[in-house]
Amino acid sequence: MISYGRQSIDQSDIDAVVEVLKGDWLTQGPAVETFENDLKSYFGVKHCCAVSNGTAALHLTGLALGWHPGDVIITTPITFLATANCIVYVGATPDFVDIDPISYTIDPNQVEDKVRSYKSKGKTVKAVIGVDFAGHPCDWKELRQIADKYDLQLVNDNCHAMGASYFDDKQYAVKYADVVTQSYHPVKNITTGEGGAILTNDPEIDEKVRRLRTHGVTKDPHLLEVNEGPWYYEMHELGFNYRITDLQCALGINQLKKLNLFVQERCEIAKRYDESFYGIDILTIPKTKSSINHANHLYPLQINFEKLSLTKAEFFEKMKQMGINLQVHYIPVHIQPFYHKNYGFKQGDFPVSESFYYRVVSLPIYPDLNYDELQFVISETKQVLDMIEV
């Protein structure tokens, strides 16, 4: 079965993990720090804290930024649930802003409108979480300007865009956002199995997420109320076990060396899809704004099912019968029953996101997808949609 995404593992990855298995540290050892240092150099950031997954990274970000009940945090409906859930975890209030129809990322103009509308009611927005959806960076220059103008915290949920460039800069994420979160789930551009990280130039945020990663415990002599000996630690705040293991970090260290190559391979696949589907009126291929080098984590193809005698569910089923497992990214978060019941969001609130959802399918894209498989996906897509060239 060809899946929409999967990991790329070679012998060097296996060797790196086996090396750690033979050593002294399966967790809390030196591979964690090495991985964090490698991430710091690749992404050009002062601090990096690797954690157990991208959701934990978002949760700790909300805590470290001091989000509390009553605070409003804005994000996009077109994202994985975790981006919005982290707002709920800390008791703050989630709200959404629709996407830009070209980049499918949060629309900065509507962010400003929403912030102003809260202001006019005497309420303030505390933070905005932008998501570099599918590997296309948000309009970070605009978002930064709005954040500075209205004193907002800016978070980049960067899980899809590792290896992308913004104005020719692969290290863009931490230059605009106060905190950047990543995930290394197997379908992402690099993997550690499960894993994630919080990247920031702010030392206080880094210290806080590090403490919270390990139960809220500190051994820092400056923070201890007393010091009873070398074994001594204190807990001043409630934390978690959100640690990543050395096995995972060994894999991450090796994968990061291949990130540029992985992204290049993804771009070649995306280019082939673009060429094959360009100019077909029922299809909309993903677009890339001129300031961007896309990381092509996903290939979101929009299909105008209204013009076809086939539903999206039937298309999925037919492709599955041919051995191709598609996905949809994403069901807009605001129409999830939880967000409807608890916050009153409903169909129609964010029309661009909703119409994107009705049409979008994610085609397979990952470095190990070979030429024959790619050609097969293209020809089956055309055939099932009944567009085969004669």
Ligand X SMILES: Cc1ncc(COP(=O)(O)O)c(C=O)c1O
Nearest approach, Cβ of 325 to ligand X (angstroms)? 16
Interacting residue with ligand X among 7, 8, 75, 83 (CB under 6 A): 83
Q: Does 196 help bind ligand X (rule: CB under 6 A)?
A: yes
Q: Which residue has the tokens 């994107």?
A: 356
Which 260-299 residues touch ligand X, going by CB under 6 A? Answer: none
Interacting residue with ligand X among 105, 183, 296, 381 (CB under 6 A): 183
Q: Does 55 help bind ligand X (rule: CB under 6 A)?
A: yes
Size of the site for ligand X (CB under 6 A): 14
Which 140-159 residues touch ligand X, going by CB under 6 A? Answer: 157, 159
Instruction: Give CA separation, 199 vs 74, 165, 237, 259, in Å.
Output: 20, 17, 22, 17
Q: Does 170 help bind ligand X (rule: CB under 6 A)?
A: no
Residues with Cβ within 8 Å of residue 188, at least 6 apart in sequence: 159, 160, 162, 182, 297
Stretch of residues binding ligand X (CB under 6 A), selected from 75-83, 111-119, 211-219, 374-382: 75-83
Exposure string of 371-385, with b = 16+ CB inside 10 Å and e = fewer, is: eeebebbbebbbebb
Instruction: Fill in the amino acid letter for 339.
Output: Y
* H or E element in which residue 379 lies: helix 371-384
Interacting residue with ligand X among 7, 43, 45, 54 (CB under 6 A): 54
Tokens representing residue 252 in the block = 């991450």
Q: Does 245 help bind ligand X (rule: CB under 6 A)?
A: no
Q: Does 185 help bind ligand X (rule: CB under 6 A)?
A: yes
Stretch of residues binding ligand X (CB under 6 A), selected from 78-86, 119-127, 230-238, 353-361: 78-86
Q: Does 49 help bind ligand X (rule: CB under 6 A)?
A: no
Nearest approach, Cβ of 188 to ligand X (angstroms)? 7
Nearest approach, Cβ of 332 to ligand X (angstroms)? 13
Q: Does 80 help bind ligand X (rule: CB under 6 A)?
A: yes
Interacting residue with ligand X among 61, 79, 191, 296 (CB under 6 A): 79
- CA-CA distance, 32 to 244, in Å (whole number)? 7
- CA-CA distance, 135 to 293, in Å (whole number)? 9
Nearest C-alpha neighbor of 199 from the set 168, 173, 217:
173
Nearer to ligand X, 53 or 93 (CB): 53
Nearest approach, Cβ of 329 to ligand X (angstroms)? 8
Phi-psi region of 196 (alpha: psi -120 to 50; beta: other; left: phi over 0): beta
* H or E element in which residue 161 lies: none
Interacting residue with ligand X among 106, 111, 131, 209 (CB under 6 A): 131
Residue 12 contacts residue 18 (beta carbons within 8 Å): no
Give the contact letters, 9-48, x = binds to ligand X (CB under 6 A), - = no.
----------------------------------------
Instruction: Give CA separation, 236 vs 208, 223, 224, 273, in Å.
Output: 11, 9, 9, 53
Nearest approach, Cβ of 270 to ligand X (angstroms)? 18
- CA-CA distance, 365 to 265, in Å (whole number)? 9
Query: Which residues make up the interface to ligand X (CB under 6 A)?
Result: 53-55, 79-80, 82-83, 131, 157, 159-160, 183, 185, 196
